[in-house]
Structure 1
Amino acid sequence: MSDRRRLRVVARTEVADGVVRLDLGPEEGGAPLPTWSPGAHLDLHLADGLVRQYSLCGDPDDPERLSVAVLREADGRGGSEHVHTRLAAGDTVEVGGPRNHFELVDAASYVFVAGGIGITPIVPMLRAAEERGVPWVLVYGGRSRASMAFAEDLVAAYGADRVRLRPADEHGLLDLPAELGDVVPGRAVYCCGPGPLLDAVERVVGERDGEQLHLERFAPTGDVDTTGEAFEVELARTGTTLEVGPDESVLEALEDAGIAVESSCREGTCGTCETAVRGGVPEHRDAILTPEERAANDVMFVCVSRCLQGPLVLDL
């Protein structure tokens, strides 16, 4: 079932150099906004078939607005350019979601590491951690202070001792071992930002015991490969069996059979095509699931993942 709806751009605000915040609300007479939790994102369905995912950065308790912040990327694929040049207050836009593959888990304490526009899912997490009364600190890097969305507001709200601004033109690259400090048992480390930052945090925290690491990636960790040996997929709701060829993805096989599955990125990063697994063992190739979630084998992302042990039975 599609979760798409049209929302109105209530306000459009520049919050940093090259970053605009869109506040979205229901159309007149439209349905109430969906609920969401920190870490969730929206799909924005733009012109010419463009679909892009943007993290929600507002207040989950606000029933009137869903807010996203979008960085204008000169060498992007057109989504941010559309938002910056063609969406204005009063316009409407089709959205899907919210969906959340970056949930804020309960922990004894938190360290949040944000790089550039990766601050967006972190902002509501800070509010949630504060409400829970759990110790936290934010390490926020960017090119310059002027490019770092919400930076001064966060310092004003929480103090410079907990909001550590580290613009590269003043501090250089983040010194992650120093910023993360010693191992703190029970601490959760959350990171969102460009790939090199995520890789660096993963190297540092991956060598530690007693801390949880949670990453959200904007892009796959390497070249996207959906090929492999052919296998069969059984659709649990209809009993239909499909063969997935060596050079096609499960998603493509489903589409060829006329079976509609919501999808967007087709590279295992957005989570739109998440599908429940009723049997068999998927070969996970996404950049979303944690090792524990992969071991559960109860969901897969059909745009990239394949089959390790069949028959692969999907809840479709």
Structure 2
Amino acid sequence: MSIGILGGGAFGTALAIALDQTQDVTLWARDTTALSDRRESPRLPGARLPETVTVTAEFAEVTSSDTLLLAVPMQQLAGVLAQIDDPLEGKSIVACCKGIDLETGFGPAHIVALAKPLAVPAILTGPSFAADIARGLPTALTLACQDEERGKALQQSLSTPTLRLYRSTDITGAEIGGALKNVIAIACGVTIGAGLGDSARAALMTRGFAEMTRFAVANGARAETLSGLSGFGDLALTCTSDLSRNYRFGVALGRGDAFDSSTTVEGAATAQALQRVAQDQNIALPIASAVAQLVEGRLTVQDVIKDLLARPLKEEKPC
């Protein structure tokens, strides 16, 4: 089976390196200079792209593959799909980005289904840093596809000796887990940046997980999906590691420091999109709402801390 990957950033490059062990891989990028000449992505320094991976800037060369992996930033996903004239009928299209689209309020697999209704959408998500995948370190992810037989085929073709995939049919749950954990990671970063300590971070992770589960179940997902790799697993990784861009962004917010604007922080846009959707659905998400207001500059860190601590005391519930 041939694999086409759209997106020459850190995660797309890492997937190309990993999957080249078992599949024929073609990697699409807007700028192929570094990938073709130096065989290295500027977003993933030190990780060499094998010579056997074909690099291209032409959509037709990558969309001819049996399976497509979309590793472009969430807010660019719809635009990239709109540039592909091929309806991709019958092909498996696996979204590898995490977030909620600002314009539509949908997750990545649903954006794929809207743009290419004749294709079979899926999502690959879970606790994973591109550098770990590229180095061949053990990583486990969730592969969610509503078509169970297609999901089984994808699980087999996309697994490697060090990349272990667990299968699910709950696309919505996998999407929401991957999207919302980035928002909670920003909140946890703010906590540490503001000097509130590890105990406060643990509390935010726990209550943030409750928000994730509450929102997911309200939108038709299964609660157990959020307890797996695509929810709790990814939350644990991104809320505790300096390798997480969302966590580092939150730390900068908490300290009042500037943050590199060229670094993609999916949780910032997702928090804003999530606030609108949650308001429309009348779902209380106090932590996510606070992050959205921080990102938009409508509240200060001190305001957020005061507001969250002043919330009414109540019985603890898991969601």
Q: Same fold (TM over 0.5)?
A: no
Relative to the length of structure 1, the TM-score reads: 0.28
Which of the pair is proportionally richer in strand?
A: 1
Which of the pair is proportionally richer in helix?
A: 2
